[in-house]
Structure 1
């Protein structure tokens, strides 16, 4: 029986733009050129505004697709060692988010945990979230942080600062151009 939250029913969104934002954040952290959170947020807001409402929704869906792909990779990696991805990823994820009270509102943490659990069990994070109503502005920082933290976790597991970005970039490069036409969901 197929779930209404099955990833095959979800729009992929603008994975490239979402990946660019996450990669930019990773590089700034790794290179020590973080600037201030306000500066980073202003640049991100300016980029999203330049996309318009449809483009912003596409980046949001793309971020959920990244979360799904990162959790899928983590699930497969953990299964190779007979471990449960939820058991090993969720506790450290929650602990890290709780240490970010200026960027992540505490009430957004359970939703982000739900997203990664949905993705970790093979469900679409965006479709799982949509069943609870529209996204809130308080969830946007948390959503970006979720994708970032998963990418950084993958990079630490592999001991390769570019692994998560390369993983998605290579997957995108393998998609035939007729499947990647703009405007198709």
Structure 2
């Protein structure tokens, strides 16, 4: 039976812009920077300012698409080893977010875990979230952190710092062809 949260009903959003944000954070961490440099932060601010409300919503949908694609890949990887993706990913994600109280408010963690569970069970994270109303400002950092942590998890599993970003880039390229 089809669900109203089925990915076929979800907008993909601006996956490219969402990937750019996540990839820039990944590169900053791997370069040993805990904070983005001023030039990078200015570029991100210019891009987000130029988007307007619809563009920002499109990037939110794009981030949810990233979460869905990352969880789909992780589900396949864990199933090959007879493991459950929810059991392996969610506790790590929640524990990591709990260690980030300055940027991730505790009350947002259940929503982010819900996004990951939705994606891990084959549902659209953005449609799952829309059931509960509009995104809040307090959810923006946790949403970015969720996509970032999933990408980093994939990169660690594959022992390749750029695997998650390359996987999405290749998927986008093949979709355009």
Contact 2:115-2:129 at 8 Å conserved across structures: yes
Tell me the distance in 1 between the aligned counterparts of 2:55 and 2:9: 19
1:4 corresponds to:
4
Counterpart Cα distance in 2 of 1:155 and 1:92: 15
**TM-score under structure 1 normalisation?**
0.91
SS at match of 1:87: helix
Structure 1 gap segments, 5+ residues each: 178-185
| 1-structure distance, mates of 2:121, 2:10 | 15
What's the CA shift for 1:34? 3.6
Q: How far has the Cα of 1:32 moved from its partner? A: 1.4
Deviation at 1:53, TM superposition (A): 1.1
Q: CA deviation at 1:31?
A: 0.7
**Structure 2 residue aligned with 1:91:** 91
Paired with 1:7 and 1:134, the residues of 2 have a C-alpha distance of 19
Q: Residues of 2 paired with 1:35 and 1:176: CA distance?
A: 33
* Counterpart-to-counterpart distance in 1, 2:61 and 2:87: 26
Alpha-carbon offset, residue 43 of structure 1: 5.3
Gaps in structure 2 of 5+ consecutive residues:
none
What secondary structure is seen at the aligned counterpart in 2 of 1:107? helix
* Corresponding residue of 1:150: 150
How much has 1:175 moved relative to structure 2? 0.8
2:24 alignment counterpart: 24
3-state SS, counterpart of residue 93 of structure 1: helix
Seen in structure 2, the aligned counterparts of structure 1 residues 94 and 84 have a Cα distance that, compared at 3 Å, is same
Tell me which residue corresponds to 1:165.
165
**Are the equivalent residues in 1 in contact too, given 2:28–2:36 (CA < 8 A)?**
no
Query: Which aligned runs of 4 or more in structure 1 are off by greater than 2 angstroms?
Result: 33-47
Offset from partner CA, 1:46-96 (integer Å, 9 cap, x none) = 421111111111100000000000000000000111100000001111000
What's the CA shift for 1:176?
3.4
Number of residues paired by the alignment? 177
Equivalent-residue separation in structure 2 for 1:163 and 1:142 (angstroms):
22
In structure 2, what is the Cα distance between the partners aligned to 1:156 and 1:48? 29
Tell me the C-alpha RMSD between the 2 structures. Answer: 1.7
Equivalent residues in 2 for 1:1-185 (5 A)?
A: 1-35=1-35, 44-177=44-177
